[in-house]
Structure 1
Amino acid sequence: MDIETEEDVVRIIQQDDWMMSVLRAAKTLNLPDWWICAGFLRSKIWDTLHGFEERTVLSDIDIIYFDPTNTDENFEKKLEAKLREIIPNIPWSVKNQARMHIVNNLQPHSSAVVGIANFPETVTALGAKLDEENNVILTAPHGIHDVLNLVVKPTPPFLTTVKLRAIYENRVQQKNWSSIWTKVKIFYMEKFE
């Protein structure tokens, strides 16, 4: 199946009953500025582009939101427990982007989309959520060109320091995406020097 536009990405999500049920479950939390992001979307796109009949197993489902009034990590764990009540057997991961900048020593984020823009890889910097009418909304701060062309590159913040470059390098080695999706091309830091 061809995927060439953001509308195509939205369409393949809307046609996937499991993805829609996951999005509806996340919406029930009524979190401010929430998105499901990263592998949830990237894997669906890459599975489709590779013609896979079965969904690639996800290590987790990343739900992010932005709430500077409550950055207690224990609250995130309670949200994960609520989601397990709605759909058990899913590895839910809920993170407030108002505190996540600390992980990589970045500037504080001002929204969840800014958090997504500061993910290590452009192909991971994607998010989807449901609007009031349950239509899928997509965000892609660095665009969808790389994910559609199966090209893994660092986001601009991960080109700025040796430490952030190393985080990107370690992640792409650890994830080993090309062992699952054989058409994927990984760009390593020497390409950016």
Structure 2
Amino acid sequence: MSLEARLEAIVRETPDLMRVLGVARELDLPDWLIFSGAVYQPVLNRLTGRSASYGIKDYDLGYFDASDTSYEAEDVVIRRVAEAFAPPLREMVEVRNQARVHLWFEGKFGEPYAPLTHSSEALTRFVSPLFAVGVRLEADDRLTIVAPFGLEDLFAMRLRPNPSRVTGGFERTATSVTARWPEVEVQRR
């Protein structure tokens, strides 16, 4: 079975993630993806024998709308998404317009961040290839998987720095991940 097929099976067997994907599909935001911990954590949980929802603090829903990069426009979408979910998912789905990340990223994280051109480009800037995976549930129930670095690191449980973007957050992230999944192998270079 290919890594993509394995990922799809795990995603489809994760009830809360499928609920989030279904609602996101209905909301039909432009160029949307569910990514980061919402996707990689169920895989780590399956590989280590933990429950599907172990460690999941939020569901990152990214979309791309360059027509209005104001916070006010993003806030309208945030409220619309919140109204579409019942608790506890309402509080767990975090929505961000990827077209405006460059406007606040450096102020929050102290690192420059060039503007993105689409949602999946954000994955290329994640701290580690292990995290750089996104999914979208299509109208015909197909699952689109976006993984610019592939899925090998994820299924090998290998945490290494992003080879194309050096970031200062790797050590903090490695500490957090190995506290929850001590089985993860950390490669610092």
Q: Aligning the two structures, in what range does the TM-score lie when normalised by the shorter sequence?
A: 0.7 to 0.9
Amino acid at match of 1:179: A
**Distance of aligned partners of 1:36 and 1:112 in 2 relative to their CA distance in 1, 3 Å threshold:** same
**TM-score if structure 1 supplies the norm length?**
0.84
**Distance of aligned partners of 1:168 and 1:54 in 2 relative to their CA distance in 1, 3 Å threshold:** closer
Instruction: Give the root-mean-square deviation of aligned CA atoms.
Output: 1.9
Corresponding position: 1:139 with 2:146: yes
1:84-163 correspondence runs (5 A)? 84-87=82-85, 88-90=87-89, 91-102=92-103, 103=105, 104-159=111-166
**TM-score if structure 2 supplies the norm length?**
0.86
Instruction: Give how far 1:99 is off.
Output: 1.8
Indicate the residue corresponding to 2:177 in structure 1: 177
Q: Distance in 1 between matches of 2:181 and 2:122?
A: 26
Q: Distance in 1 between matches of 2:51 and 2:148?
A: 29
Q: Distance in 2 between matches of 1:55 and 1:170?
A: 22
Q: Distance in 2 between matches of 1:24 and 1:143?
A: 24
For structure 1, which runs of at least 5 residues remain unmatched after alignment?
none
Q: Identity over aligned residues, as a percent?
A: 24
**Distance of aligned partners of 1:122 and 1:101 in 2 relative to their CA distance in 1, 3 Å threshold:** farther
The answer (yes or no) to whether the contact 1:33–1:66 under 8 Å persists in 2 is yes
The answer (yes or no) to whether the contact 2:25–2:139 under 8 Å persists in 1 is no
For structure 2, which runs of at least 5 residues remain unmatched after alignment?
106-110
**Distance of aligned partners of 1:77 and 1:171 in 2 relative to their CA distance in 1, 3 Å threshold:** farther
Instruction: Give how far 1:115 is off.
Output: 1.2
Q: Distance in 2 between matches of 1:154 and 1:5?
A: 21
**Distance of aligned partners of 1:93 and 1:74 in 2 relative to their CA distance in 1, 3 Å threshold:** farther
Q: Distance in 2 between matches of 1:112 and 1:74?
A: 19
Amino acid at match of 2:7: V
Q: Distance in 2 between matches of 1:123 and 1:77?
A: 30
Amino acid at match of 1:138: I
Instruction: Give how far 1:56 is off.
Output: 0.9
Indicate the residue corresponding to 1:76 in structure 2: 74
Q: Could you tell which deviates more after superposition, 130-139 or 50-59? A: 50-59
Indicate the residue corresponding to 2:108 in structure 1: none
Q: Distance in 2 between matches of 1:154 and 1:181?
A: 17
Instruction: Give how far 1:39 is off.
Output: 0.2
1:21-100 correspondence runs (5 A)? 21-53=19-51, 55-87=53-85, 88-90=87-89, 91-100=92-101
Q: Distance in 2 between matches of 1:62 and 1:68?
A: 19
The alignment of Structure 1 onto Structure 2 pairs a total of residues equal to: 180
